[in-house]
A and B are shown apart, each in its own frame.
Chain A
């Protein structure tokens, strides 16, 4: 299987390794890591840094009876605050597992809906300021020229697309912000299935902008 050739930059991998990414961004990064051994190595390096910093931390005294307390609890099962991961969601089995689990945990069952011009989306509730959605563009379909607000990451999950910045295939991660105005076109045969996460809504530019912006807003 081919590996992705466009990767999230090291900043996102560092934020992932230190636990500083909001859940939808973490889901996108974990989906890329599923497909990309090279980035898993980078994350491992960052975790190694965490381990080294832990190893060299100046020790702080722990309560005198703590060891005894812990020893007494060894035979009890481990309690975790978060519930166990849900079973996979039917209809989304072709997605990397981190994304499947994310969809399965949403308060309402996700479904595809038609947006416009051969574009279908799955709306996902906001996580704080962070929004995300799945998109499916029909083979050869194009998204009208638009720009982005805030920071947007997108991962291609099937098929691919191209714009003036290049070609994006399965596993590739693209980055968008206010500086990017583009008109992506989906792969002529397979179309494009992708997951995007951003911290402000994308903005259409041009005549139909107000209408398109409303359609694209989650």
Chain B
């Protein structure tokens, strides 16, 4: 097993702190730092998704502005900072390029079924969990990694991937299932459930 990258953990913790400063006090210096850290990667990500340079540049600007305006909605217990930024970029891309709105469940919906509440995690635990996920992605067997890669970077639905690769749909689905179970395992919290139980009992 590889050691978790300390850089990744430190960077995630730094980003959490910066976004919190933007949310708490509209801190422009914190925003400039987030921009310098993330804008070049957001742009690279959008180009890999098939955007031309000019569109990627423009969308990157929109993503950064959205980070500024929505910093208060960022919940580090729910998502790592780069995951939050990924969802902003995904939604803006749909909004701008397809002129559609991202469709998502609404936690205020009376039909919304709430999961059992987790106890709070520290920023370091959150960053480490993200780091485990990175490792799990890096460790995926080639055939599963390829599939994940096509889904994210070639803008293809899984049925299209099966057709293009000339694979039976069932094979694509079972590879995905394997990939998902590995990734979920990485995301599962190594948290002190026992501690929580004994404290309440």
Contact = CB atoms under 8 A, between A and B. Distances in A.
A63 B57 contact: yes
Contact of B82 (A10, A26, A44, A54): A54
26 contacts: A11-B158, A11-B176, A14-B158, A14-B176, A15-B158, A35-B111, A41-B115, A42-B184, A44-B78, A45-B180, A46-B183, A47-B79, A50-B83, A50-B86, A50-B87, A51-B81, A54-B45, A55-B41, A60-B44, A66-B57, A67-B35, A67-B36, A74-B28, A97-B105, A98-B103, A98-B105
Interface residues of B, number: 77
A102 interface: yes
Interface of A: 1, 3, 9-12, 14-15, 18-21, 23, 26-27, 30-31, 33-37, 40-42, 44-63, 66-67, 69-71, 73-74, 78, 80-83, 85, 95-98, 101-102, 151, 171
A48 B80 contact: yes
Contacts of A151: 159
What 6 A-B pairs are tightest by C-beta distance, nearest first? A51-B83, A37-B115, A59-B40, A11-B158, A50-B86, A51-B82
Interface string B82-106: 1111110111011110011111111
A109 to B, nearest CB: 19
A62 B94 CA distance: 22
B45 to A, nearest CB: 5
Nearest to B86: A50
Given A52-B130, A69-B61, A98 B104 contact: yes
B23 interface: no
A63 B57 CA distance: 8
Interface in B155-201: 155-159, 172-173, 176-177, 180, 183-184, 187
Contacts of A73: 65
Contact of B111 (A34, A42, A57): A34
B55 to A, nearest CB: 13
A62 B177 contact: no
B20 interface: no
Contacts of B114: 37
A48 B130 contact: yes
B185 to A, nearest CB: 10
Interface string B53-74: 0001100110011101100000
Contacts of A35: 111-113
Contacts of A19: 90-91, 93-94, 102
A57 B104 contact: no
B95 A80 contact: yes
B16 interface: no
A84 B43 CA distance: 26
